[in-house]
Amino acid sequence: MNGRVAIIGTGVMGGAILKRLVKDLADPTRVVAVDINEERLAELSQELGVATTTSVPEAIADSTMAVLAVKPWVVPQILKEHGREWPEGCLLVSVAAGVKTQTLEKYLPVQVPVVRAMPNTPALIGAGITALAAGSAANEEHLRQAAEVLGKVGEVVIVPESSLDAVTGLSGSGPAYVYMFIEALIDAGVREGLPRETARKLAVETVLGAAKLVKETGEHPAKLKDAVTTPGGTTIAGLAALETGGFRGLVLDAVSEATKISRLLGKDE
């Protein structure tokens, strides 16, 4: 990573990116944390040794990249105040859900490159996945730079911006769907007589192991499903119950509804 990176907003996602980024740096002051909460900044300075400021102009003045990690409705306020003074050499990477690159760019000088990112909350433990999309002034090198930073919190994929709402509905909101499934598995185990802690461990490791098997083998999930489904056995009985209850359709609907909301967030700008 070349130059200095400013992290504007040190909440859940900004804080995760900040902490994972600093781990690989010999000089943590190459990262500057920006927040209106001075107590939060003092904690980060003491814990991580990063530079801190409450001033966006001060942070971006000597930075080669700024990660905008604030709530979507805060973005226009920040860029209205500071967008026109944004340095041309400072790449803006926004993780604000639903805020389009076109909206970001209208507050900035035309030469400022913008990359929009959609990470998810497993980024907190470095196990997330982030989709990146380039704005009109961003090129392959800007995407590479953004991927280098966001890659600290997990995998990275590049998509056209038109796909980012679907990404939000699938992987951005997806962890919550998985948490609900895990919770349901735990409750199901308890109903069948398992102690809750045992059911919890079984459910968590089952979901984790199944996902890892899909990732590491590269096999289609349907093929792996068929491999554990014997004629007249327990698994096919369970799968039949899920299909009868509309499990697959409910997942499709969940992603669709979340995608719709992401699109609405963009229209409200």
pLDDT (tens digit per residue) in 116-127: 999 999 999 999
In a domain, 45, yes or no: yes
Domain final position from 159, 190, 218: 159
Tell me the backbone φ, ψ of residue 64, rounded to 5 degrees.
Answer: -90, -15
**Domain co-membership, 197 together with 115:** no
In a domain, 166, yes or no: no
**Domain co-membership, 221 together with 128:** no
CATH of the domain at 92: 3.40.50.720
Domain final position from 159, 192, 226: 159
Q: What is the mean pLDDT of the chain?
A: 94
Whether residue 266 is predicted with pLDDT greater than 80 in this model: the reply is no
In a domain, 168, yes or no: no
* pLDDT score of 187: 98
**Domain co-membership, 130 together with 182:** no
**Domain co-membership, 194 together with 105:** no
pLDDT (tens digit per residue) in 168-185: 999 999 999 999 999 999
Q: Percentage of residues in the chain with pLDDT exceeding 90? A: 88
* pLDDT score of 3: 86
**Domain co-membership, 93 together with 222:** no
| Higher local confidence (pLDDT), 222 or 110 | 222
> Is 207:181 a contact under the CB 8 Å cutoff?
yes
Among 87-91, 143-147, 154-158, the range scoring the smallest mean pLDDT is 87-91
**Domain co-membership, 209 together with 186:** yes
Mean pLDDT of 37-57: 95
**Domain co-membership, 41 together with 111:** yes
**Domain co-membership, 155 together with 37:** yes
In a domain, 164, yes or no: no
Mean pLDDT of 235-251: 97
Confidence label for 269 from pLDDT (cuts 50, 70 and 90) = low
- pTM, 2 dp: 0.90
Mean pLDDT of 2-15: 92
> Is 95:72 a contact under the CB 8 Å cutoff?
no
**Domain co-membership, 106 together with 53:** yes
Domain final position from 126, 159, 192: 159
Mean pLDDT of 60-66: 94
Mean pLDDT of 100-127: 94
**Domain co-membership, 193 together with 137:** no
**Domain co-membership, 155 together with 228:** no
Whether residue 268 is predicted with pLDDT greater than 60 in this model: the reply is no
In a domain, 68, yes or no: yes
Quote the domain boundaries for residue 86. Answer: 5-159
In a domain, 169, yes or no: no
CATH of the domain at 213: 1.10.3730.10
Domain count, the chain: 2
In a domain, 104, yes or no: yes
In a domain, 151, yes or no: yes
Mean pLDDT of 8-37: 92
Mean pLDDT of 207-225: 97
**Domain co-membership, 248 together with 219:** yes
Mean pLDDT of 60-65: 94
pLDDT (tens digit per residue) in 188-210: 999 999 999 999 999 999 999 99
Q: Which two tokens stand for residue 44?
A: 């980060």
Confidence label for 128 from pLDDT (cuts 50, 70 and 90) = very high
